[in-house]
Chains A and B, each alone.
Chain A
């Protein structure tokens, strides 16, 4: 049941428990308990809203930063990641395979603000060897959702 609950909720976290239990053919109590358990176990880590900020008057700049680091004695990647992810500006941090170590996604109000964060906070860290900043110009698809897509049912009203 877990996988099925998650598959539905990943697309629609606002679905109510009653509907969800009908969809899955389970009792409401069982579904509610399972969700509570998954929250407890940090399988479900939050309920967020997917916003297309480009359609608001809010100015937002998102950058993806490739970071190379040297892990130091007594300080593995996790420790370095922690120093990075504690900043509020940092939205995501991933440890990567390949040519660099971390992907850091940063959100700021202006490009200047993001650049400043990189040069003042991120780059000077002891373990950081280098950074490469890439600004996001346009988001087409985010979290599996096509942002500007207009959904229209083009089927005929009645067919055999």
Chain B
């Protein structure tokens, strides 16, 4: 029999997280600090809106790009929070989570061989999506000494004539790094000068601590070369609803819509109705969750530093990214031993790019009690490592 598989898909290694998940899921009584989703339930008024829509029998397809009302609310939101003006009818596309938006943005923009700059450590999808779209991913290795921010120097170093897209993944999963206005302005200048395009993944935009999120799409001259991606999963605790969106100039969005319409048809209708309620009346819920995350963030960073682990101070998302370099083992080894010996699941930094070596992603989307219990075990593990050394 002939090989049924595509050569392209075979070049993509399975997700490092998946491998870890398989080990972890066989452990009974494991405590996890390994998830990338909120611990809160979706606020009730949002869930109720979804339920109402089902009760009223709104169980049909919506238009491909999404409900008009939702697109209008998204535009209001982006104007209010990101200083960006988009047209609901031609510049907004409601997608199945931010993930779909990443995929179709790459497919709509890349020609074979064109390069996609992916700052790492970062979310696991950018590289595979770039490859599947026929592009060539090029990692930009971010460093702790720069607080895991993308610097103009690092960007310039990797730009070639083939560079088409820069992914801007801030606030960042897994590092928790954020970029302020000046830092983004410096990046935007280079992007414009070199005539490249940006996919700005702002899924964690509501979860910043200290200063408000700034969107690169809102900077002068950037809207026309940026695909802004956001969604409801992280800010409104709606991961399972699978709902995100892309905002982009009409010429790009039109082509993304084509892919979406053939591959997906439309995002789930129930989720779209619920999302309208989220955007209209969800600000207080977001503020409440943000404060809770902020408190746990301080707690976790403090605890790591107390046990002698270097931990960079994250100002966004809900992850800490402590360094384990001083223990002289790889992230994988550390994470697997921690899981086997103390039954705590965290994610090795390498799952988010090679330069994540020496770090762990530890999520604080957990109650204080869960964090405490897990930290107790981590402390025991670290003490044991120190005695071994």
Q: Which chain A residues have a beta carbon within 8 Å of chain B's beta carbons?
A: 4, 7-8, 19, 22-25, 153, 155-160
Contact = CB atoms under 8 A, between A and B. Distances in A.
Interface of B: 15, 17, 20-21, 24-25, 27, 30, 32, 34-37, 39, 123-125, 173, 291, 295-296, 298-299, 302-303, 345, 347, 351, 366, 368, 370
Nearest to B24: A157
B161 to A, nearest CB: 32
Given A155-B32, A158-B25, A160-B124, 14 more contacts: A8-B295, A22-B302, A23-B298, A23-B299, A153-B366, A156-B35, A157-B27, A158-B17, A158-B24, A158-B35, A159-B34, A159-B35, A160-B15, A160-B125
Contacts of A159: 17, 21, 34-37
Contact of A24 (B295, B345, B347, B366): B295
Contacts of B21: 156-159
Contacts of A158: 17, 20-21, 24-25, 32, 34-35, 345, 347
Residue with the greatest number of chain B CB neighbours at <10 A, chosen from A19, A23, A158: A158
Nearest to B20: A158
* 8 nearest A-B residue pairs (beta carbon): A158-B34, A23-B295, A157-B32, A158-B21, A157-B24, A22-B302, A159-B36, A160-B124
A25 B25 CA distance: 35
Contacts of B299: 19, 22-23
Contacts of B370: 153
Contact of A157 (B35, B296, B303): B35
A6 B39 CA distance: 22
A115 B241 CA distance: 51
Nearest to B125: A160
Nearest to A155: B35
A19 B25 CA distance: 31
